[in-house]
A = this chain, B = another copy of it.
Amino acid sequence: MVRFDKVQQTVFELITIGYEILDGRILNTNAKWLAEKITSMGGRVVRMVTVGDVVDEIASVIKDALKRKVNWIITTGGLGPTYDDLTLEGVAKALKRKLVLNKTAYEMIKERYRMLAEKGVVESPEITPSRLKMAMLPRGAKPLRNRVGSAPGVLLRYGKTWIACLPGVPAELYSIFEEELKPVIEKSLKKVYRVDKTIYVKRVAESSIAPRIAEIVKKYDGIYLKSHPKTIEDGVSKIEFQISSIANKIETAIAKINSVAADLKKIVLEMGGEIEREE
């Protein structure tokens, strides 16, 4: 149960593009990685969507996210040189902007292939149509330098929403996020502090403690308290309680989480349960 409502947070939507996620071939580790980063920075991811490599699908999820007036849309995947890398086409369609040759992106790509040709990784540094495609960005966009791969990331603003497009190759995504995108996100963040705690309890059934948990949540603003029941082993029920506290001052966040944890432990003991450990 969440009571983040009264705490102002910067809101993110993550869009993953690629059939390799939809067919269950790979786990969407990119969305998890980004969500973890954003959460730790004080932002809040409200939705994750995965669609295939189809221009209309990509455009449609971007438009939907814009309608929800999120502060940030971050896409991953579909920026490469192949014909099914369609993210920027989808973004351009959603924003009704043209794809235009971006000179900075062009220079980045030229430099990259010159280096790859020198190393013998590619046969020629020539900017073929496939390579040129990676420099065609929606009008008004800024390329984000990719130190690990060829396709630059893309950053643009539409109304009050920032849109960032990152490659799907994890090493490239991490590098562009850390070196290029993170400073922009940090500047945009409404200042909040978040503290987390996990309490492991046993010998209490989730269904028995549920109404008492609801009572705790009603007492506080800006807390998150969720029970994760673990599968019962040897007849002993175990629950992991995740508590997060968020506030505009760090002291408030800490005081609140300690108070919530104390309330929770009191109830567990009252019900005859045991506290296994806390982290």
Known interface pairs A20-B242, A113-B207; 15 further A-B residue pairs with C-beta atoms within 8 A, sorted by A's residue number? A2-B84, A22-B44, A23-B36, A23-B39, A24-B32, A24-B35, A80-B229, A81-B206, A82-B207, A82-B226, A83-B211, A120-B235, A121-B205, A121-B232, A122-B208
CA gap between A271 and B128 in the complex, in Å: 15
User: From residue A198, how far is it (CB to closest CB) to chain B in Å?
Assistant: 9
Chain B residue at minimum C-beta to C-beta distance from A39: B23
Shortest Cβ distance from A73 into chain B, in angstroms? 14
Contact of A83 among B80, B214, B242 (CB under 8 A): B214
Whether, in the assembled complex, A269 has its beta carbon less than 8 Å from a beta carbon of chain B, the answer is no
Contact B22 A48 (CB under 8 A): yes
Contact of A229 among B128, B169, B231 (CB under 8 A): B169
What's the least CB distance linking A146 to chain B, in Å?
12
- Chain B neighbourhood of A44, CB < 8 A: 22-23
- Closest 5 interchain pairs by CB? A24-B36, A24-B35, A81-B207, A1-B84, A48-B50
State A131–B208 Cα separation when bound (angstroms).
8
Q: Would A82 and B20 count as touching, CB distance under 8 A?
A: no
A95 at the A/B interface (Cβ < 8 Å)?
no
Contact of A128 among B37, B128, B208 (CB under 8 A): B208
Query: Copies of this chain, how many?
Result: 2
Structural contact, A82 and B28, CB atoms closer than 8 A = no
Looking across the interface, which residue of chain B has its beta carbon closest to that of A211?
B130
B39 near A46 (CB under 8 angstroms)?
no
Q: A27-B27, A32-B26 are in contact. Are A210 and B38 (CB under 8 A)?
A: no
Q: A27-B27, A53-B2, A231-B169 are known contacts. Are A205 and B116 too (CB-CB below 8 A)? A: yes
Question: Complex formed: what's the CA distance from A271 to B122 in Å?
Answer: 11
A96 within 8 A of B: no
Q: Are A83 and B45 in contact (CB under 8 A)?
A: no
Decide if B2 touches A52 in the complex (CB within 8 Å): yes
Question: In this assembly, does A156 line the interface, its C-beta being within 8 Å of a C-beta of chain B?
Answer: no
